A = this chain, B = another copy of it.
Amino acid sequence: MTDTFVVVGGDAAGMSAASKAKRADPELDVVVFEKGEWVSYAACGMPYYVKGEIESLDDLVQVTPEEFRTERDIDLRTNHEVVAIDPEARTVTVAANGDRFEQSYDSLLVATGARAIEPPFDGIDLDGVFTIHSMDSAAAIHEYVESERPETAAIVGGGYVGIEMAEALDARGLDVHTFEMLPHVLQPFGESVATVVEDHLREKGVSLHLDTTVSGFAGEDRVEAVRLETETVSADVVVVGVGVAPNVALAEEAGIELGETGAIATDEYGRTNYDTVYAAGDCAESTDVVTGEPTHVPLALTANRAGRAIGQTVTGTPTEVGTIAGTAIVKAFDLGAARTGIVDESAAREAGFDPVSVEITDAARAHYYPGATDLTVTLVGDSETGRVLGASVVGREGAKRIDTVATALHAGMTVEEVADLDLAYAPPFSPVWDPIATAAKVLAGKL
């Protein structure tokens, strides 16, 4: 049990932990320091705000600061930045309103999140060049598109944020160019998803520049072009989405250990090397359900789950933060793409498995049912143990079926067991054998 629970960072992990802890122990003092204005917002919704499908950024706020304070009785301080942690003294130093003060804690959660990586591109400070990782940057892009009426957009990075922003800016009527350093977009989703998505992006009019390194941006005050090695491509607005890096400086300075991934190392309860200091969300490592190894997958659900567990642990009910499968899903125009576990055979081999994979394409509904479209499933299994290792799916409908494989990964199921699942069938929803089960049947024959 604890008397004062201090949380650094007021987004998914921090506010989940604060809320859970206060609910579990109403006597507990729960203090949250957030350096910005916004708390508990759905960052993943930002592309749809830029697209114009969501009217106001306020719609992305799940619980307002006022609600946290009055309804949940959490001492939430926005515009308060924690600038130092002293784990021995169990205090944090807080800067606010030009002043500094100390706050002591019994338990501390570091939930400082991640920031968009800004490569040292020439011209990254030009007007019209944005990253998208905070509500403020989403507001800035939205404002720029509305006021400056750019005609051509360059998206640097073909990850999920890049793909979502391509869709958003295309919907705004911009001519979109996407630049990806690697041979394919959506690298963590594997090649079979990437090729389907790439064809679809091109169909939709997106100009894909794969295997292409951006060296900088050109323009006087405002961006006018993207510089590549041998040419330049005009662009009135640029969105850089090349990934995120965990915010660990504060923790590192306090002697909190980082793991190999560069994020904060934690045990199964989300605890750091200091007994009373926890870390969760985009700044912390998690444990991979397939390999059992530390991994850094900065996604919203991971943050929420870990926050909730830590909120229980600090109030006397030790709760594991849980393992993650790295399950992810992304909308790319009319397609849905999803992945879970280990999709890449070489990554599976590195983790000590002997992987075999299959790719099948089947209708997402009964083939004769009106509107049936194809779902492509890639399933990876281990030939030694027969275990399922991971999967990806892509299609116009049915991408959420990745959840069947995610569940199977958490249960440690074999490929045969997945082939034998009693999944839901009726013509408007699935063929008799769901494409996931079909992939498992085919893979079982190869293991």
- Show the binding face of A for B, using Cβ within 8 Å: 12, 42, 44-45, 48, 53-54, 59-60, 160, 289, 299-302, 304-305, 322-331, 336, 338, 340, 366, 368-370, 398-404, 406-408, 410-411, 413, 417-418, 420-430, 432-434, 436
A to B CB contacts below 8 Å, 25 in the list: A42-B427, A44-B425, A48-B368, A48-B369, A48-B427, A54-B368, A54-B369, A59-B368, A300-B425, A301-B432, A301-B433, A305-B420, A322-B422, A323-B422, A326-B422, A327-B423, A329-B425, A329-B429, A331-B426, A331-B428, A400-B401, A407-B413, A410-B420, A410-B421, A410-B422
**For the complex, would chain A's binding face be called helix, strand, loop or mixed by DSSP majority?**
mixed
Distance from A114 Cβ to chain B, minimum over Cβ atoms (Å): 16
A403 near B433: Cβ-Cβ < 8 Å:
no
A303: nearest residue on chain B (CB-CB)? B432
Contact A340 B422, CB 8 Å, known A42-B427, A300-B432, A413-B411: yes
Q: A289 contacts which chain B residues (CB < 8 A)?
A: 422
A424 near B340: Cβ-Cβ < 8 Å:
yes
Count this chain's copies in the assembly: 2
A422 near B370: Cβ-Cβ < 8 Å:
no
Q: A305 contacts which chain B residues (CB < 8 A)?
A: 420, 422
Known: A324-B422, A331-B428, A407-B407; 6 extra A-B contacts, CB below 8 A, are A42-B427, A45-B427, A59-B368, A327-B424, A340-B424, A406-B423
Q: A433 contacts which chain B residues (CB < 8 A)?
A: 301, 304
